[in-house]
Every structure is written in structure tokens, then in C-alpha cells.
Structure 1
């Protein structure tokens, strides 16, 4: 049996990862679960999947559930707890399903411990991609993408010579407001933004999809995962979310990965790679879909996507600043403190003031992250 640990077990990716585990109980054993504050769901997961180790976000939450845990379960909390779940125990694969840059330290710890990574935490590569990929290469650790877009590219590249790749194209659904002109977004609400037409995701990722920040993060992530320059990475609007991404080769051939929108498929492939197992996902009928549509990306309509790509090209701590500013701005929007369009403006203002550091170490990344968050919180 393959032993796995999940960082972010109560979130959207975490719960769907456990769905996959439940479908194949003979194949997987849960070694550790790390959650945030949803302790009631975590306790349900503990009773069902019987991990040896669990962690929550604070010591207070840990004390609150201690008496409810089965005997013998080790309990941790905070950032130290994330590291324990990631790097301790006997897991062979760690699924990093945390939202935000909080996942960086624990992901690096898991790689240092020789764990393969099921990577669903975009921000890890966005903030410190050069450090993560270098360490993974040195430790012989696989970075197996869980995002549907990167999983699609990963699958399209199986067995191919990377030197033959002309370009990769990441598809974008367009999010909740894909049929809105920019001037129509002035008074949209949080509830409006959270109604994604295709995917069931957490609140932060759904807002990122509406601003297209999510796609910007994915471009930066793809640059690190597949070692491609930014000029070979494109984005196209594809409202149906049937083609999850595609690769063009030097002979003009294009290989695409298709399927119904169901995150359990890329999650399962990351856990079973290089094998494919039966999945409960709905089978795709192209005859029923009837047509697929595509639109060129409008960078004036989605300025945050352009900012993300520019930050990736600039390199250094600019991607850290971009990510930090976005996380704070999205949190402020979700709390009702700022209007939707202010998210893009805050990111831009933080970047205008950012003094980038080339080839930063962890300390410089951490400092840039803090400074960008503090600025985004008061703009």
C-alpha cells in the first residue's frame, strides 16, 4: 500500500484526494492529515481514514480536539505541525493542497525528507520555484502536478522529447465573470464572484479564477515545472473546460488532454503515476458536447494575468510580491472591505513599489512576502 499524507485535508483538493483514497482502500493508507480550523471535518476524516498523525492551525484548536482523537494519534499544530506531517512519519507521497504561500516551508521539508510531491499548491512554485525544483532534482523527488492544467501538460509530454516542444498552452475557463466587460464589474458581489460556472473549488481559488490571477500563477508554475521560457507558454480562453491544456511540437502536431471537469482525475493520476486506474468521473462524450470554443486572451480585460507574466519574466522576488499582494487583496474582498476591481489595483500598486531581489534565498523571499503583505493591507 502507498502511504500518503495530505496538507490541507479539509479543503477542496484535500477532500477530493480522500475521495480517491476511499475508492481504492486496498491501495492507499493515510499516514498524516493537516487541516486549518475545520476541526469537525478533520475529526470525521480521522475516524474514517485512521491517520497516525494530524495537525491543525493553532495550539488552541489542537487542545480542543485532543480528547476526541483515537488513542495513539500524534497531534501537532501551527507551521511546525505542517512540517511534521510533511516530513515525519512514513508517507511516500505528500499531497500539498494548502492555499497560499503557507505551503512553502512544509513542501521544502517534505522534499528534503525524500517524499514525492502531489503538487496542488501553486504558490510554492510561484514564490520559490527555483529553490523547490533545485532541491527536488537533488533529492530525486518527483513533482507530480495535481492542477488539471499542469496534469494535462504532464500527460501530453509523457514519452516525448522535451527539445521537440514548440509551446504549451494553458486553457482558462474565464471564471465567474467571463462574459462581463470590465466596466460591468464595478458592483459585483462576493456571492457573484464565487459562482464558478465549471469547477467546484475553494473561495480563494474561485476569486483568482475570476481575476485570472489563477492563470497567471499557473503560467509561472508551468515555467518551473516544465523548464520552459515564458515566450513558449500561452493562455487561451476555453469556456467549456474540456481541453485542460495542450502542447504543440516542432512538427506542428498538437497533443491535448481532454475530460470532463473533475479534479479527482488529475489527483488520482498524481497518486498512481505512471499507472492509470478506473475513476468515477463522468465519461466525456464529444458528440454530446457538440462544440468547443476558444478565444484569444484579452490582457486589458484581465490585467492581473499580464502582471503575473511580467513578474515571472522579471524573476527574483517579483513573483513573491505578486502572490502576497493578491492573497491579501482577495482576503480583503472576501471580507467585504474592498470592491472586486480593487484587487488588480492593489497588486499593481504593490508591484510598482517593490524593489526586486534577483535569485533570492528563503530569507529574502520571506522578507519580500511580509513587506508586500503589509503594504497590500493598507492600500
Structure 2
């Protein structure tokens, strides 16, 4: 059972963003393939299983677009964009081990094919390659931004572990988790583009704000999709968050708004892990009753609006238009 979320009929796309960075992304993809090479055969096998599995590469495209927005004319954005994608891929490999996930982007997770140990170690290899490329670019500021992001992402993941299966988690605490584990990489990916372009501090901060708020909106839509989406859009099974006992915003809203009997249901399923086949349908019913999915999407729209406002500093141009439409695209995934 899945809930179809109401959205505008003309669904936005990221075609403008894809077209804007097409030539640069071909170079980024070539760098990614080159840097996954290793004499240890398992490393390219595991890395390419995930890298070639159809991800949109949104984060590196944001780096390239923000570099274009900032008028950057050098070569460093290619390596930084590849670094951002490697950081993202490494976190996915690690996340699937922590979450014991079976699926990723519609395929078996790497850990199911090669084991947890290989997934963690190949993730570490990709992080190492990411930092090598950052150093090669020669910008200490960019290195600082992305290395700080790596720390913040790890902190966000540990915070999520601490909040796992805890129905008493506050909305503020949950937002702190997603700022760390998801939005920080969006923010860093955008900020380094403006830093490379040597833009004024206010414009660098604007690009960071755009990425941070887009990242929050992106994760909130993911939260909603786990209960109201389709397996094709998620790249994993609908209800995985529920079965894994993850406390996400829709659950927090439904738990707070529910009566004692409903709260006992959430505690049994998420805190105690006692989940039957019929429980997902009941969970979706409670989320629908309390508008928890719809309100999560509304929260996402709020952060999407902040992301768009952050770009107001910049004059109209194709890069700005593409970045604005990327916000609408991320929100439209809930349709």
C-alpha cells in the first residue's frame, strides 16, 4: 500500500541543469572511472557496481553549476565535482552496512554481493581518492570545506544511530541529523563552486545556504517517499525505513499527534522491532490520518523556498535558472 501525494501536474525536471553541465560532467565521469582503478580487482568491481547504477549525480552537478554561476574558468571544478561524488558514494556504501540494507538504486546493495567488510573498505578507498583530488586542486579553502563536510556527515550518521528506534526524538533533533548526514554535502558541493570562482564571501555563503536548504528539502522528500512513494522512485523497497526502525519526520509527526493506542503501535514496531506484514499498511494509514506525509512535504517546500531565496543575490543567467529548477525537481519527486 502506498499513498500518492498531490503535486502540480507539470512535473519539473533537471534537464536544464543536465544540459548546462553536460560537457563538464563527461570529464567528471571520466575522472571517476580513472580514479576507481586499482590493482586490487575487488575495488573497481564494488565501486563501479554502485557508481554505474544510475544515480543522478546531482551533487557533482551542483558543484559544476555553482562554479558556472560564479564565472569560474579553470579546471579545478572537475576534480572537486568528482571528489563530491566519491564522498557521496562512500557514504552510501557505509550506510548500507549500518542499515543492513538489501537494495540500493534498484539493485542488490554491494554488501549483499561482496560482504560488509568489502563495502566499508571500498568506501574508505573512495574517500581517500576524493581527498587526493582535493589536494591536487590546490585550494586550501575548498579542502577545508570538504574535509569538514566529511566530519560533519560522520557526526550526522552517529547522531542518527543515537536517535534510532527512539520515538521521543524531537523534530529539532531530527533536523540536526539530516543537516549533518545529507544536507552538509549538498552545502559543501555548492560552496566550493563559488570559492573556486573567488566570489565575495556573501555569494559563497549564498551558495552554501542554497545547498544546505536544498539538501534538507531533498531528505524530507525521501522521508515522505518511504511511505508514500514507489520502489522505482526510491531505488529501494517502500517501507524500508519502517522495517529498519528508523525514526523519520513523518513518524515523529504521527507519533506526536496520535492517541495512546497509536503511540503504542509505533513503539512496538520501531522501538521493539516487532513488525508483522500488515503493520506497514497500518503505519501508512496513521500517517495519512494525521497528515504526516503531506506535512513533511510542506516542510520540504519551506526549505526549498529558502534555497531559492538564497540565489537572489545572483543576476539572471542560465546557471541560476538551472539551479532554481533543480529545487522544484527535488520537491516534485514526491509526486
Which range, TM-score by smaller chain? under 0.3
Q: Structure 1 length as normaliser, TM-score?
A: 0.26
Higher helix share: 2
Q: Which has the higher contact order (CA 8 A, sep 6+)?
A: 2
